[in-house]
């Protein structure tokens, strides 16, 4: 008989190198915080999880971690209940928006769920290892052997601003349609991606329309998406929709708020709208679906509360005839594996999932998950199918320890101020 009791939980905050990717808020910091969760059982099996690592997540995770020893890794429903009692500092959860809005609304429940997801994935990984089963089997079984991902294109600088310590890479700058197409070609060459998402909201819409048009010319018939993170007014969104309707698979969060999204959706001539901003919690679903505001929900298993909740979300979407796919923020291979396992179990996954992973040159795994033909093969070994490299974890943790606190909370506007001291988060609509 296996002893599935949790005996230890290890939390390791890390800082991961991130390139200077631009978005409507600013630019990515040279290092971004993530949290690695290890759950150890009485039998010595260790499960891995990963989630957001900003201070408020870390504090909540520490509180939850202390409550796990003595419980079973199978007690995943209990984990959700346990998290409800995790105290949160009222100043860090104020009902406004998270990371300048890039992750949608900020609520106490969502913060707790974002933390729970790291623990849930770690418990599932440990359970899979203990039973000799892949995580997808614990979720009811895979429906596909490969999960397709989309190339995530960003306007970017060649390097972080002068005087800012950071890692360098050989991508060069991409600040116009030619640069974006060149970036896309490299993604195709290296990973075989067959669909493309451009992070917009950086330049005036005409320039971003031109970039999408250039992509359509370079890759005829391939699915394309544009995501300005809610930076446009309804009228601007409608103009962009009219210009790009013939080449876009969907338009992602063109404008901010459910009612504005609903207005765009109603007048966009049938172009579907996707979101990872106006539907990011269960309470937001009813209003948005009733209003017809979104046609595709991009789930982020971190903030929806884990892999099982992602499946609940997918079922709700299916009931309402709304599509589902996956959102991504800067993440490592543990989360890519988790996304791949859950995506393999979701029926009717009609859109390639988002992932930042190809932008990450560092990881905490012995072997990086690979893309082939734009897909990740669903692992069939025990658990998530990934192995922790403790030396790498320690190195990234040492970086976190050495930081004076300025990089421990993602702040793209603050990072932009290193290049442009007068920069403030642009109000929406920006255009
Ligand atoms: O990493 C970024 O710059 C993205 O803008 C990210 O923060 C968003 O949450 C995300 O990728 C999105 O699809 O909105
Ligand atoms: Mg988005």
Arithmetic mean of pLDDT, 345-368 = 97
The answer to whether the CB of 276 is under 6 A from ligand 1 is yes
The answer to whether the CB of 227 is under 6 A from ligand 1 is yes
* pLDDT tens readout for residues 234-288: 999 999 999 999 999 999 999 999 999 999 999 999 999 999 999 999 999 999 9
Query: Which is catalytic among the residues 327, 331, 341, 351?
Result: 327
The answer to whether the CB of 275 is under 6 A from ligand 1 is no
The answer to whether the CB of 23 is under 6 A from ligand 1 is yes
**How many angstroms separate the Cα of 399 from the Cα of each of 37, 57, 246, 254, 407?**
17, 18, 46, 36, 10
Give the nearest ligand 1 atom to 277 CA. Answer: 14
| Average model confidence (pLDDT) across the chain | 96
Distance CA 341, CA 362 (A): 22
Arithmetic mean of pLDDT, 127-132 = 98
The answer to whether the CB of 129 is under 6 A from ligand 1 is no
The answer to whether the CB of 229 is under 6 A from ligand 1 is yes
Please report the pLDDT score of residue 97 as a whole number.
Answer: 62
CA of 3 to the centre of ligand 1 (A): 40
* pLDDT tens readout for residues 32-72: 999 999 999 999 999 999 999 999 999 999 999 999 999 99
Whether 327 sits among the annotated catalytic residues: the reply is yes
Q: In the predicted model, is pLDDT for residue 98 greater than 70?
A: no
* pLDDT tens readout for residues 173-212: 999 999 999 999 999 999 999 999 999 999 999 999 999 9
Whether 142 sits among the annotated catalytic residues: the reply is no
Q: In the predicted model, is pLDDT for residue 90 greater than 80?
A: no
Report residues near ion ligand 2: CB below 5 Å.
227, 252, 276
Report long-range pairs for 32-35 (Cβ below 8 Å, ≥24 apart): 32/330, 32/407, 32/410, 33/58, 33/400, 33/407, 33/408, 33/409, 33/410, 34/330, 34/331, 34/332, 35/11, 35/61, 35/118
- The domains of the chain, with CATH numbers, are 6-135+389-403 (3.30.390.10), 137-377 (3.20.20.120)
Percentage, residues of the chain above pLDDT 70: 97
If one residue of 23, 279, 330 were mutated to test the ligand 1 pocket, choosing by the most ligand atoms within 8 A of its CB, it would be 23
Q: In the predicted model, is pLDDT for residue 297 greater than 90?
A: yes
Q: In the predicted model, is pLDDT for residue 131 greater than 70?
A: yes
CA of 21 to the centre of ligand 1 (A): 10
The position carrying tokens 């971690």 is 65
Please report the pLDDT score of residue 66 as a whole number.
Answer: 96
Please report the pLDDT score of residue 146 as a whole number.
Answer: 98
Q: In the predicted model, is pLDDT for residue 86 greater than 80?
A: yes
The position carrying tokens 């290892």 is 129
Q: In the predicted model, is pLDDT for residue 227 greater than 70?
A: yes
Please report the pLDDT score of residue 105 as a whole number.
Answer: 85
Q: In the predicted model, is pLDDT for residue 96 greater than 70?
A: no
Arithmetic mean of pLDDT, 404-430 = 97
Q: In the predicted model, is pLDDT for residue 91 greater than 60?
A: no
ipTM above 0.90, yes or no: yes
Please report the pLDDT score of residue 248 as a whole number.
Answer: 98
SS (H, E, C) the chain: CCCCEEEEEEEEEEEEECCCEECCCCECCCEEEEEEEEEEECCCCEEEEEEECCHHHHHHHHHHHCCCCCCECCCHHHHHHHHCCCCCCCCCCCCCECHHHCCCECCHHHHHHHHHHHHHHHHHHHHHHHHCCEHHHHCCCCCCCEEEECEEEECECCCCCCCCCCCCCCCCCECCHHHHHHHHHHHHHHHCCCCEEEECCCCCHHHHHHHHHHHHHHCCCCCEEEECCCCCCHHHHHHHHHHHCCCEEEEECCCCCHHHHHHHHHHCCCCCEEECCCCCCHHHHHHHHHCCCCCEEEECHHHHCCHHHHHHHHHHHHHCCCEEEECCCCCCHHHHHHHHHHHHHCCCCCCCECCCHHHCCCCCECCCCCCECCEEECCCCCECCCCECHHHHHHHHHHHHHCCCCCCCCCHHHHHHCCCCCCCCCCCCCC
pLDDT range class, residue 100, cuts 50, 70, 90? low
């Amino acid at each position: 008989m296996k002893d599935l009791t949790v005996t230890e939980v290890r939390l390791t905050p890390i800082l991961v190198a991130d390139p200077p990717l631009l978005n409507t808020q600013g630019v990515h910091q040279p290092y971004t915080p993530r949290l690695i969760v290890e759950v150890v059982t009485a039998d010595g099996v260790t499960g891995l999880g990963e989630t957001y690592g900003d201070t408020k997540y870390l504090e909540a995770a520490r509180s939850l971690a202390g409550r796990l020893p003595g419980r079973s890794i199978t007690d995943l429903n209990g984990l959700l209940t346990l998290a409800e009692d995790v105290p949160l500092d009222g100043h860090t959860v104020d009902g406004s928006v998270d990371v300048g809005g890039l992750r949608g609304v900020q609520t106490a429940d969502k913060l707790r769920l974002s933390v729970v997801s790291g623990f849930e994935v770690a418990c599932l990984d440990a359970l899979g290892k203990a039973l000799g089963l892949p995580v997808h089997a614990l979720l009811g079984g895979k429906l596909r052997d490969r999960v397709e991902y989309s190339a995530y294109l960003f306007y970017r600088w060649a390097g972080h601003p002068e005087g800012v310590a950071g890692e360098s890479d050989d991508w060069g700058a991409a600040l116009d349609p030619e640069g974006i197409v060149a970036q896309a070609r490299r993604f195709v060459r290296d990973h075989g991606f067959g669909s493309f998402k451009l992070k917009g909201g950086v330049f005036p819409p005409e320039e971003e329309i031109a970039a999408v048009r250039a992509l359509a010319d370079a890759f005829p018939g391939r699915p394309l998406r544009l995501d300005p993170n809610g930076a446009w007014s309804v009228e601007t969104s409608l103009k962009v929709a009219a210009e790009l309707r013939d080449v876009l698979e969907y338009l992602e969060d063109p404008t901010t708020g459910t009612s504005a999204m609903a207005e765009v959706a109603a007048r966009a001539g049938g172009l579907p709208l996707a979101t990872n901003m106006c539907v990011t919690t269960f309470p937001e679903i009813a209003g948005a679906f009733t209003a017809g505001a979104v046609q595709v929900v991009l789930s982020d298993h971190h903030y929806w509360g884990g892999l099982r909740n992602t499946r609940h979300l997918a079922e709700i979407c299916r009931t309402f005839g709304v599509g589902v796919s996956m959102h991504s923020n800067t993440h490592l291979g543990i989360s890519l594996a988790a996304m791949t396992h859950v995506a393999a179990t979701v029926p009717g996954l009609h859109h390639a999932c988002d992932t930042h992973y190809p932008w990450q040159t560092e990881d905490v795994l012995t072997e990086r998950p690979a893309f082939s033909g734009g897909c990740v093969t669903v692992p069939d070994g025990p658990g998530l199918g990934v192995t922790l490299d403790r030396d790498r974890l320690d190195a990234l943790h040492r970086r976190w320890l050495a930081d004076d606190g300025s990089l421990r909370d993602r702040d793209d506007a603050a990072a932009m101020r290193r290049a442009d001291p007068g920069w403030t988060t642009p109000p929406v609509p920006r255009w």
